[in-house]
């Protein structure tokens, strides 16, 4: 690793600039003059093109901070580098080759990793690729290998993510698979990531295999950002600090976005809440950078996380209420949330009713699936039904009552 912490920033295969840590912890990113002169895109929404440096007094700028690994992988990376796990700059330098999106961070004086000999097979595979993924769940970056998949090798870009079982979250990969299949039926016109469950021979574990939407089939990088990056928030707890409406307002207020995307995002959130996906935070929604502006990526990380007792509170504020318990979600909260997306109340009710019309198809997809134990499938169906009856079904009636009251006041 470089003696002074600094790295070369590449956008796809083009050198874009320099990221360095000054004494005292200040981090500076500066676009390279040739990149500015080459009619290239900005590497991030919060880092528009300019010759002046971007200075972050509190560590990595949010765009880069959100690229650093979390959870078990962060700890393994720190051991491999021989650094403190809180040294996020060092982690990014050491494992910045294969990151989410189109940007890579390359250490000009990279050293061999330490402490790999005693790693388990999954951890060893994750470290060898010099890659980082956010999220606390165990994950590997993989590529197709005949009829199966294998972890990436050094210098090789991945095209798939392999999510591994978690010991304290039983049936997590099966639950994500079933949740995604249900949402695919609830929102048939939308885009949900494909997935399947296979065994990866080299690590002898089952995994949920998800194609990377930020890679082409030939492993070319595609530019996107999570909303935590778009909103200028750091990784960690900041991904839970805010409201779902913040994303809707971002879309409505940002040049190049289109209002229809706010409506589509609102429908995704409604479907996630119906499924009990309480961990849908700012890092679980994202937008592509396209020639026409920012556009939503496919839906991803869809897990009915309220199955687990530690995930009973909704990740982001709903209708101005922080940490709302999923069991306390009411029609009035859905109406107020929709207003924050710039959607008329009639359209909110219509969106809820349309999801309700597709509820039986979503439940059938779960029931007929051969993934996961039957008790899991049955419980997921039952919880969907209960949540529909308690939180969603009466939305139209609530609106009618409000309208009736308004008419009586005027008369």
Q: What pLDDT, in 10s, does the model give residues 271-280? A: 999 999 999 9
| pLDDT for the residue numbered 1 | 45
Q: Which CATH number is 224-406 given?
A: 1.10.1070.20
Global pTM value: 0.93
pLDDT of residue 229: 98
The β-bridge partners of 15 are 10
Write out the two tokens for 12.
């796809």
What kind and span of H or E run contains 172? helix 172-186
The region of weakest confidence among 114-128, 149-163, 220-234 is 114-128
**In whole angstroms, what is the distance from residue 188 CA to residue 267 CA?**
11
Taking alpha carbons only, the member of 165, 186, 184, 182 closest to residue 174 is 165
Strand ranges in 67-116 using DSSP code E only, listed in sequence order: 103-106
Q: What is the mean pLDDT of residues 33-59?
A: 96
For residue 401, what pLDDT band results from cuts at 50, 70 and 90? low
Q: List, by residue range, all CATH 1.10.1070.20 domains of the chain.
A: 224-406
Mean pLDDT of the 3-23 span: 92
Q: Which of 84-88, 128-132, 185-189, 275-279 has the lowest mean pLDDT?
A: 128-132
Distance of CA 70 to the CA centre of its chain: 13
Contact 187, 267 (CB under 8 A): yes
Convert the pLDDT of each residue in 49-82 to its tens digit.
999 999 999 899 999 999 999 888 888 899 888 8
């Amino acid at each position: 690793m470089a003696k002074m912490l600094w790295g070369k920033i590449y956008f796809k295969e083009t050198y874009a600039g320099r990221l360095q840590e000054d004494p005292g912890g200040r981090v500076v990113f500066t676009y390279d003059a040739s990149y500015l002169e080459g009619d290239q895109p900005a590497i991030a929404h919060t880092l528009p093109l300019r010759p002046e440096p971007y200075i972050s007094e509190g560590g990595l700028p949010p765009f880069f901070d959100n690229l650093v690994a979390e959870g078990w992988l962060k700890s393994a990376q720190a051991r491999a580098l021989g650094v403190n796990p809180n040294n996020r700059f060092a982690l990014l330098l050491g494992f910045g080759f294969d990151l989410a999106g189109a940007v890579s961070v390359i250490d000009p004086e990279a050293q061999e990793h330490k402490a790999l000999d005693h790693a388990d097979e999954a951890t060893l595979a994750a470290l060898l690729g010099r890659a980082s993924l956010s999220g606390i769940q165990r994950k590997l970056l993989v590529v197709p290998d005949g009829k199966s998949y294998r972890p990436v090798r050094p210098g090789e870009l991945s095209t798939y993510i392999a999510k591994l079982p978690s010991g304290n979250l039983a049936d997590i990969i099966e639950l994500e698979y079933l949740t995604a299949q249900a949402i695919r039926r609830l929102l048939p016109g939308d885009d949900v990531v494909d997935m399947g469950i296979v065994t990866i021979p080299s690590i002898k574990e089952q995994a949920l295999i998800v194609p990377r939407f930020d890679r082409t089939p030939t492993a070319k990088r595609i530019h996107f950002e999570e909303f935590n990056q778009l909103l200028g928030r750091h990784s960690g707890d900041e991904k839970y600090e805010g409201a779902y409406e913040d994303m809707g307002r971002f879309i409505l207020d940002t040049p190049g976005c289109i209002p229809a995307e706010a409506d589509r995002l609102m429908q995704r959130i409604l479907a996630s809440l119906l499924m009990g996906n309480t961990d849908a935070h700012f890092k679980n929604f994202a937008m592509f950078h396209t020639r026409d502006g920012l556009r939503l990526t496919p839906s991803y990380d869809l897990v009915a996380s309220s199955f687990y007792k530690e995930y009973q509170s909704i990740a982001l504020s709903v209708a101005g209420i922080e940490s709302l318990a999923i069991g306390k979600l009411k029609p009035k909260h859905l109406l107020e949330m929709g207003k924050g997306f710039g959607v008329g109340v009639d359209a909110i009710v219509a969106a809820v009713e349309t999801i309700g019309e597709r509820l039986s198809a979503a439940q059938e997809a779960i029931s007929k699936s051969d993934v996961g134990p039957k008790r899991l499938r049955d419980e997921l169906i039952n919880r969907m039904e209960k949540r529909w009856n308690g939180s969603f079904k009466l939305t139209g009636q609530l609106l009618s009552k409000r309208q009736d009251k308004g008419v009586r006041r005027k008369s």
